[in-house]
Amino acid sequence: MFSFTVDKEISIELFQQHHKEELYELIDSNRDHLRPWLLWVDKRRSPEDLEPVIPIWIRNYADNNGFDAGIRYHGRLVGMIGLHYIDWKNRSTSIGYLLTEEAQGKGIITRSVSSLLNYLFNELDLNRVEIQCALNNGKSIGIPARLGFTKEGITRDGQWLYDHYEDIVTYSMLKKDWPVS
Ligand SMILES: CC(C)(COP(=O)(O)OP(=O)(O)OC[C@H]1O[C@@H](n2cnc3c(N)ncnc32)[C@H](O)[C@@H]1OP(=O)(O)O)[C@@H](O)C(=O)NCCC(=O)NCCS
């Protein structure tokens, strides 16, 4: 099973079916915080709503096509991190993440993404990693910016969110630009 230690405080672990209550509790207690940026939040109305989703995430990992994992801070589930897909032909992928409102401001995602990049470039030998954020989502943009990703450009009206479009900004990191660790 995919799991790894980021540092003394943070670990990343693939979701399994028995995590559904814990994950639901995270979502349910952070609706107002997550909803503005994540359309799927409203679709998760009970732990059972996660039952058909978790096997898809596990299958993606088994098929070498990305994953969805929990982020634990001192053992407690505080967020999610994942790869939306892996494009093996072009050796590229895209990272997504979220945190509970309370867990923000400690560098948990920045440290997790940094550790994940070591894995993606050194272990999987990928060449390119993308992060896409809404231009208005300053906290999300802070993560690729802090880690030295290159801002590539803006997809105007790239995402529909409830009642409006958001411009989407794409950041990338290439293997040759990531410090060897
Ligand atoms: C986007 C999101 C994950 C960002 O959370 P975050 O806490 O700002 O990100 P990090 O965990 O990397 O923490 C960075 C913050 O911790 C601080 N920090 C403290 N210790 C740190 C360390 N060791 N390393 C890096 N940053 C550190 C940074 O200065 C920064 O604080 P600042 O924003 O006040 O400058 C969070 O706001 C969220 O989940 N939002 C809702 C869902 C969402 O938007 N998801 C992304 C969709 S694209």
For 9-54, the pLDDT digits (tens) are 999 999 999 999 999 999 999 999 999 999 999 999 999 999 999 9
Tell me how crowded residue 162 is: count the other CB atoms within 10 A of its CB: 8
Widest pairwise Cα distance in the chain: 44
Secondary structure class of 178 (helix, strand, coil): coil
Residue 141 maps to a domain: no
Q: Whole-structure pTM over 0.85, yes or no?
A: yes
Residues near 99 by beta carbon (within 8 Å), at least 6 away in sequence: 71, 78, 79, 108, 109
Q: Say which residue the tokens 């979701």 belong to.
A: 15
Whether 84 is covered by a domain: the verdict is yes
* Distance separating alpha carbons of residues 73 and 10, to the nearest angstrom: 5
* Residue 154 is assigned to a structural domain of this protein: no
Q: Is the Cβ–Cβ distance between 42 and 93 less than 8 Å?
A: no
What confidence score (pLDDT) does residue 38 get?
A: 97
Ligand 1 atom at minimal distance to the Cα of residue 105: 16
Residue 69 lies in a domain: yes
CA distance 34 to 6: 24
The answer to whether residue 108 sits within a structural domain is yes
How many domains in the chain?
1
SS3 40: helix
Q: Decide: 98 in ligand 1 pocket, CB within 6 A.
A: yes
Q: Is 109 in the pocket of ligand 1 (CB under 6 A)?
A: yes
Residue 37 structural domain: 3-128
Distance (Å, whole) CA 83 – CA 96? 6
Cα 110 to middle of ligand 1, angstroms: 7
Per-residue pLDDT band for 181 (boundaries 50, 70, 90) equals low
What CATH number did the domain enclosing 52 receive?
3.40.630.30
- Tell me which residue has its CA closest to atom 22 in ligand 1: 107
CB of 137 within 6 A of ligand 1: the answer is: yes
Does residue 139 sit within a domain?
no
Structure confidence at residue 72 (pLDDT)? 98
Confirm or reject: Cβ of 35 under 6 Å from ligand 1.
no
Task: State if residue 140 touches ligand 1 by the CB under 6 angstroms criterion.
Answer: yes
> Residues, the chain, total?
181
φ/ψ of residue 87, rounded to 5: -95, 95
Round to whole Å and give the CA distance between 54 and 49: 10
CB atoms within 10 A of CB 48: 11
pLDDT digits (tens, 9 = 90+) for 47-100: 999 999 999 999 999 999 999 999 999 999 999 999 999 999 999 999 999 999
Give CB contacts under 8 A, 24+ apart, made by 156-162. Answer: 158/132, 159/134, 161/36, 161/37, 161/39, 161/134, 162/39
Do the domain assignments include residue 160?
no
Which sign does the torsion angle of CA 81, 87, 88, 91 carry? negative
Task: Give the angle subtended at the CA of 112 by the CAs of 110 and 118, to the nearest 5°.
Answer: 105
Is residue 2 scored above 90 in pLDDT? no
